[in-house]
Chain A
Amino acid sequence: MIARRDVILGYVLLSLAALISLGPLLGVMILALGEPGRIGINLDIANATNFGNFADVWEKGDFGPAIRTSFIITSVVVVVSVILSVPAGYAIALMDFPGRSAIFALLILGILMPLESMIVPLFLDMRRFNLDNNYWSVILPQVGFSVAFGVFWMRAFFVQSARSLVEAAWIDGANSWQTLTRVLVPLARPQMLTLAVLFFVWNWNDFLLPLVMLSGSDLQTAPMALVTFEGARRTDFAYLGAASIITIIPVVIVFILLQRSFTRGILAGSIKE
């Protein structure tokens, strides 16, 4: 029996936890509508009406081009990474060829490897091949890191749920490619969506890689624009609040619309080996 008291306690505690999570974000929304340029930074809900802050920040912080750059880079990374991860995960899950396990182990290692550690050689190599300061210098490493997780994730799904289907398709005479495109891809749509959401969130938020790769160009991503703006207006907190919201809003929208996919990725995702 579940006691009524336990249920109420549960809702109270969870609501408190949710409030702690959301509190600072709600605070920033009020902050962002406050009077710009004021050093006094106590929240003034009654006068939180300066919707013009967003337009000002958009203009002064060059957020238009930055959001555009982020969208270009992130969409290419998401699409390419998913397209590369699916067939590789399929082959490693369901085909037998020499070196399969070793290759998989090396890919898994990539999930653990922090970009922060590789930033120096990545920069030197990109510069040597004249790839720095353009979209590709950010896109290519982001795809590299994304596929490490992507292959792992798709393989886990194909190993679990696709074996008998694939064997049936092979017996029916379908070749490997037909099996993938006609049988597995339709089956794996939810897993591919989860992967796309995760890739979108990680790569949109990525800061260090674009910071290093694009530093010699006019290009900047949304998080870079936020940090640049922040460096120029250290105490103009109403504007900084508005700039933060502009930076995070695409991810927040994607997350809220597709939160089922995202939480499945985090909850189930990290494993099931």
Chain B
Amino acid sequence: MSLAPVPVTAGGRRKSPPRSRAPGEPRRIGYLFILPAVLVYAAFVFAPFLHSIYLSFFEGNGITRMEFVGVANYVDIATNPVLRSAFIHALELIVFYSIIPIAIGLLLASVLHRSRIRGVAFYRTALFLPYVIAPTAIAVIWRWILAPRGPLNSFLEAVGLGALATPWLGDFTWALPSVGLVGTWVMFGLALALLLAGAQKIPLELYEAVRLDGGGLWTEFRAVTLPGLRYEIVVALVLTTTAALRNFDIIYVMTSGGPGNATVVPSYLVYQQAFKVAQIGAAAAMGTVLILAIVGVNLLITRMARGSS
């Protein structure tokens, strides 16, 4: 369930204000219709959520008695350099998962908006494929590509850039950007397909109007393309930033947080602290901060989208 689309409630294209009147007629039988879904959700998503917050104020291994420690676990996250670095790494990954793919997507979409492409289905399938396949498999594939004697280094040597070849995932400087690059590869197709679909819906007359007013490519981009793609940009931002913050599988398989702690991320620390060193409270606190980070980033994105409308 990684990489799940996430709803955004801002920036939709609806013109009418939301209905204030409740729809339909009063039907208490509605409770029966929602009951099964709500029960499963409450038991396996919402209760664990509350339980996680509760656990985050304790210390212990989850088997013997847990000791109440107040906000100590949260203080740890703020002060312990390794724990704190996990969130800094997550922010760096957002650059690779979100900013770069969306920038590439915007650039291509603004170049391509005028050539109404046929055969979009083929391109769309190709572009979406990395987003669809299991992150564990993506990690295995990229561990091969980035291996010390792997295709990337071979390629660099073949074109005379052998001096740049390095064991990417074992290098303190390059490990995190290398993992980020994998995210860029997964997300750029998604962002491009999303933005291209949106760009094809922008009426060509708007571009003509800018031309007639003597506007150049930059004006076209700022006045027509960017506002026209606002909704698609929000969707792409929400999907990619959430994936960047949640990222577990790729780190687990490619680096296990290493070398040293160079690629530790919040979700990996949750797993490690809970299931490797049995620090249940610390893991729960990490998980709770991760929820806050994801909800916060999503609110920020939708707020920005609303503000720019």
Contacts and interface: CB of A to CB of B under 8 A. Distances in A.
B91 to A, nearest CB: 16
Given A24-B185, A27-B145, A259 B246 contact: no
A22 B126 contact: yes
A6 B114 contact: yes
Interface in B92-144: 108, 111-112, 114-117, 121-137, 140-144
B51 interface: yes
B128 A266 contact: yes
Interface string B14-57: 10000000111111111101101110110111111101100100
A111 B41 contact: no
A103 to B, nearest CB: 6
Interface residues of A, number: 121
Interface SS, B side? helix
Contacts of B25: 95-96, 170
A112 B293 CA distance: 11
Contacts, number: 366
B33 A91 contact: yes
Contacts of B306: none
B1 A140 contact: no
Contact of B271 (A2, A163, A170, A208): A208
Interface string B146-164: 0101110010000000000
A240 B144 CA distance: 9
Contacts of A112: 6, 242, 291, 294-295, 298
A208 to B, nearest CB: 5
A232 interface: no
A251 B45 contact: no
A247 B137 contact: yes
A180 B32 CA distance: 13
A41 B150 contact: yes
Interface string A100-120: 100100111111111111111
A150 B197 CA distance: 24
A88 B295 contact: no
A252 B133 contact: yes
Interface stretch (B76-84, B171-179, B281-289): B281-289
B270 interface: yes
Interface in A2-24: 2-3, 6-11, 13-15, 17-18, 20-22, 24
A203 B1 CA distance: 5
Nearest to A255: B132
Given A114-B291, A149-B5, A230-B140, A140 B274 contact: no
Contacts of A152: 7
B219 interface: no
Nearest to B250: A207
Interface in A82-98: 84-85, 87-88, 90-97
A183 interface: no
Interface magnitude class on chain B = 35 or more
Interface string B263-306: 00011001100110000100110011011001100100000000
A230 to B, nearest CB: 5
Nearest to A146: B1
B43 A226 contact: no
A2 B114 contact: yes
Contact of A13 (B112, B140, B150): B112
A31 interface: yes
A263 B266 CA distance: 30
A111 B274 contact: no
Contact of B284 (A15, A120, A146, A201): A120
Contacts of A118: 45, 48-49, 52, 287
A40 interface: yes
A265 B239 CA distance: 13
A236 B197 CA distance: 41
A262 interface: yes
Interface of A: 2-3, 6-11, 13-15, 17-18, 20-22, 24-25, 27-28, 31, 39-43, 84-85, 87-88, 90-97, 100, 103, 106-125, 140-152, 159, 163, 166-167, 170, 176, 180, 198, 201-209, 212, 215, 222-223, 226-227, 230, 235, 237, 240-241, 243-244, 247-248, 251-252, 255-256, 259-260, 262-263, 265-267, 269-273
Given A113-B45, A116-B248, A144-B41, 18 more contacts: A9-B112, A24-B130, A41-B147, A41-B149, A95-B23, A95-B25, A97-B31, A103-B34, A112-B298, A119-B274, A120-B55, A120-B62, A124-B62, A215-B275, A223-B137, A230-B143, A262-B132, A271-B12
